[in-house]
């Protein structure tokens, strides 16, 4: 099944309500489908109030986080926040959640950074709790990390049985969870201990392998899933000389992570967005034709307007 292109844009900048309104209007005018807020303890608006504000100042835009760190909130509390946004927006919420990865943020607030399998297990339970809270009637759950007893969550979301759920990750276990439980699967680079990206995992070949894992785990529902990708490793750049920009970016990235990175490796990555406008149109077409990826995060609002205007909804 070929899905139409759907574009997400980042609205992380600390902004007033009036500034968010202008950002939302611009995003709507060029064909952005969803405005998203990251979930980091950095210089940005917190995602829940920012999503609520964007929904209030826009008429068509969907809202979401990209992505919520499961370890920062109890899933039942998060479910009430998210269901409230879905009600207030008239059903324009996407729920995106991941296991958390940025050790420095955990350490900054004294939050234990558990081993990856533990965080993945906690995420799987959290997704079950979210779905239970979004459903009608009392809900109970007994897991290793969460216990819910006859809890009748309110409000329930407008979208039934629940808002679209995006689960993102770069490892097989998380992607298989996404294949079974999500509506949108976010494809990410693997992050090695120490926060260093696993460079072999960023290539087209590695991404095909990840999608094969998703296909196998999803079974008959694979054709219904939407696949998402986003720019990573280096900043998005529109340029008429992409290889020159990639050579410079490879040098900077090599110095930062202490591992040699070649411009050719960056060029061969669906996670690296450095190209001309026509080049981006070609790249996104390739992502959909070869990999089935139709949901694309395009950086901050305004960065890829000419590309979005040409492809949105097609």
> What are the boundaries of each domain within the chain?
6-238+270-311
Percent above pLDDT 70 for the chain: 99
Considering only residues 199 and 278, tell me which one the structure prediction assigns the higher pLDDT: 278
Kindly state the average pLDDT of the residues 185-192: 88
Is the pLDDT at 268 greater than 90, yes or no? Answer: yes
Average pLDDT of every residue of the chain: 95
Is the pLDDT at 121 greater than 90, yes or no? Answer: yes
> pLDDT tier at 12 (50, 70, 90 boundaries)?
confident
Kindly state the average pLDDT of the residues 286-313: 96
Residues contacting 221, CB < 8 A, separation 6+: none
> pLDDT tier at 229 (50, 70, 90 boundaries)?
very high
Nearest to 10 by CA among 314, 303, 302, 299: 299
Is the pLDDT at 197 greater than 80, yes or no? Answer: no
Is the pLDDT at 23 greater than 70, yes or no? Answer: yes
The runs of H, that is alpha helices, within the chain are 17-30, 47-57, 75-89, 103-109, 116-134, 172-181, 204-218, 242-257, 263-267, 277-291, 305-311
Taking the complete model, does pTM exceed 0.85, yes or no? yes
Domain covering 6-238+270-311 assigned CATH 3.40.50.2000 in the classification = no
The pLDDT value recorded for residue 195 is 65
pLDDT in tens, 34-93: 999 999 998 899 999 999 999 999 999 999 999 999 999 999 999 999 999 999 999 999
């Amino acid at each position: 099944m070929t899905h139409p292109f759907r574009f997400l844009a980042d609205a992380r900048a600390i902004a007033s309500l009036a500034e968010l309104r202008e950002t939302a209007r611009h995003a709507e005018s060029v064909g952005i489908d969803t405005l998203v807020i990251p979930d980091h303890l950095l210089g940005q608006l917190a995602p829940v109030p920012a999503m609520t504000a964007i929904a209030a100042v826009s008429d068509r835009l969907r809202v979401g986080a990209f992505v919520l760190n499961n370890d920062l909130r109890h899933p039942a509390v998060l479910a009430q926040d998210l269901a409230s946004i879905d009600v207030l927006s008239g059903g324009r919420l996407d729920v995106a959640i991941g296991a958390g990865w940025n050790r420095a943020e955990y350490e900054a607030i004294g939050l234990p950074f558990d081993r990856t399998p533990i965080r993945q297990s906690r995420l799987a339970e959290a997704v079950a709790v979210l779905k239970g809270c979004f459903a009608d009637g009392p809900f109970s759950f007994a897991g290793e990390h969460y216990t819910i007893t006859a809890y009748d969550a309110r409000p329930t979301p407008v979208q039934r049985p629940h808002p679209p759920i995006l689960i993102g990750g770069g490892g097989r276990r998380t992607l298989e969870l996404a294949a079974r439980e999500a509506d949108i699967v976010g494809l990410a680079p693997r992050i090695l201990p120490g926060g260093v990206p696993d460079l072999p995992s960023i290539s087209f070949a590695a991404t095909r392998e990840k999608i094969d894992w998703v296909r196998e785990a999803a079974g008959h529902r694979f054709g219904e899933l939407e696949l998402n990708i986003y720019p990573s490793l280096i900043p998005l750049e529109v340029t008429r000389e992409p290889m020159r920009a990639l050579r410079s970016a490879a040098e900077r990235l090599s110095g930062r992570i202490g591992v040699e990175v070649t411009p050719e490796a960056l060029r061969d990555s669906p996670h690296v967005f450095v190209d001309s406008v026509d080049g981006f149109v070609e790249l996104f077409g390739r992502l959909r034709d070869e990999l089935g990826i139709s949901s694309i995060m395009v950086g901050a609002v305004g960065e890829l307007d000419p590309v979005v205007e040409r492809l949105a909804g097609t």
